[in-house]
Amino acid sequence: MLITRASSINRALDQIGDKWCLLILQEVFWGINSFSEMAAAIGVSKGVLSDRLKWLQQVNCLQKASRDGRWPRYHLTRKSIELYPSALMSLAFERQFYNNPLLDNIDLIHTSCGKVFQPRLECAHCKDEVHAPDVRYVDGPGSRKDERQVKVRRRSSVSSIDNEQRNLYANIIHLVGDRWTANVIALAFHRIKRFEAFHKELPVATNVLSSRLKFLVDEGVFSLVRYQQKPSRYEYHLTPKGLGLYPFFLTLLQWGDKWCAPEGEGRPMHLDHTLCGEALHGIVCCSECREELSPQSVRFVGPAIENRREERGG
């Protein structure tokens, strides 16, 4: 058992943060929702796919339905539909920090204003864009320690995704699709910078922690800043790219607050937006008209989308 401070991000990631789960949910958002279509689209073995599908049903993120004796299809639930803001912000991150030819050819159109837009994370109160340094964390009513399984059935290795050309979110999933790596990033948003401080909050084996920190330095999420000489010691500082992950994490935190807290418990943390002084509730809005976005008001247009429509036959 691993004891960590209760965190809605960690709870959310423990449910859906495994890279295969993220990929499956992404495909279902695109309408690819039968077993064989998903196996082909994700390039995953049948054993792993069926394991993750079972898991996602267990945590109420997918619902299986078969009609007229046809093969069953997997559908989003009320819970997983609300991952839509996270999906939009991961797309925005992927676009901003990587060259992803597939994604660069897609336009997002907001049907309410008719314009091509970028998703933007705003404070619902003051409508300013939300940035990590402007958020303050205070213990909430559900602040406590969580007991977490050290070993999850779901594999948690830092490996890359094989079919990168096909995948719209390959890079962000590569970064966050490993449990401990994602936990380390979440801690960095709580202004943790030193190895010992990371280890205090995330008491996994030190070699596991070092490998995740090194990975994140190599990927440009952290930069090393020396804070002591003889012997040299370094802090891990979020780079602009690391800070760029914040909207994805904040939307996931809000989702975890709502959907992953134990019955009857309040939020582990309150967030304040220091720019306006109000409790922070982040909403994902259209960059052009600033209205909050919903799955019904967004259209994706581009060749990659056409291909996907053809693949699923219409």
Longest dimension (CA), the chain: 72
**Token duo for residue 148:** 């977490």
Question: CA-CA distance, 311 to 314, in Å (whole number)?
Answer: 8
Q: Among 81, 109, 113, 158, which residue interacts with Zn ion (rule: CB under 5 A)?
A: 113
Q: Is 273 in the site for Zn ion (CB under 5 A)?
A: yes
Q: Which residue do the tokens 């196996």 mark?
A: 39
Question: CA-CA distance, 143 to 220, in Å (whole number)?
Answer: 32
Q: Is 243 in the site for Zn ion (CB under 5 A)?
A: no
User: Is the Cβ–Cβ distance between 250 and 86 less than 8 Å?
Assistant: no
Cβ nearer to Zn ion, comparing 265 with 292: 292
Cβ nearer to Zn ion, comparing 121 with 202: 121
Cβ nearer to Zn ion, comparing 196 with 292: 292
Which uninterrupted H or E stretch holds 138?
A: strand 135-139
Q: Is 289 in the site for Zn ion (CB under 5 A)?
A: yes
Question: CA-CA distance, 233 to 236, in Å (whole number)?
Answer: 10
Q: Is 125 in the site for Zn ion (CB under 5 A)?
A: yes
Q: Is 126 in the site for Zn ion (CB under 5 A)?
A: yes
User: Is the Cβ–Cβ distance between 39 and 49 less than 8 Å?
Assistant: yes
Q: Is 276 in the site for Zn ion (CB under 5 A)?
A: yes
- What torsion, rounded to 10 degrees, do the Cα atoms 85, 251, 145, 2 define? 70
Q: Is 293 in the site for Zn ion (CB under 5 A)?
A: no
Q: Enumerate residues 20-49 that contact Zn ion by CB under 5 A.
A: none
Q: Is 272 in the site for Zn ion (CB under 5 A)?
A: no
SS3 62: strand
Cβ nearer to Zn ion, comparing 136 with 145: 136
Question: CA-CA distance, 301 to 69, in Å (whole number)?
Answer: 33
Q: Is 158 in the site for Zn ion (CB under 5 A)?
A: no
User: Is the Cβ–Cβ distance between 150 and 203 less than 8 Å?
Assistant: no
Please state the closest distance from residue 245 (CB atom) to Zn ion, in A: 20
Cβ nearer to Zn ion, comparing 24 with 286: 286
Please state the closest distance from residue 95 (CB atom) to Zn ion, in A: 17
Please state the closest distance from residue 130 (CB atom) to Zn ion, in A: 8
Q: Binding-site residue total for Zn ion (CB under 5 A)?
A: 10
Please state the closest distance from residue 30 (CB atom) to Zn ion, in A: 22
Cβ nearer to Zn ion, comparing 112 with 156: 112
From 146, 108, 135, 160, select the one nearest 13 (Cα to Cα).
146
Residues that bind Zn ion (CB under 5 A): 110, 113, 123, 125-126, 273, 276, 286, 288-289
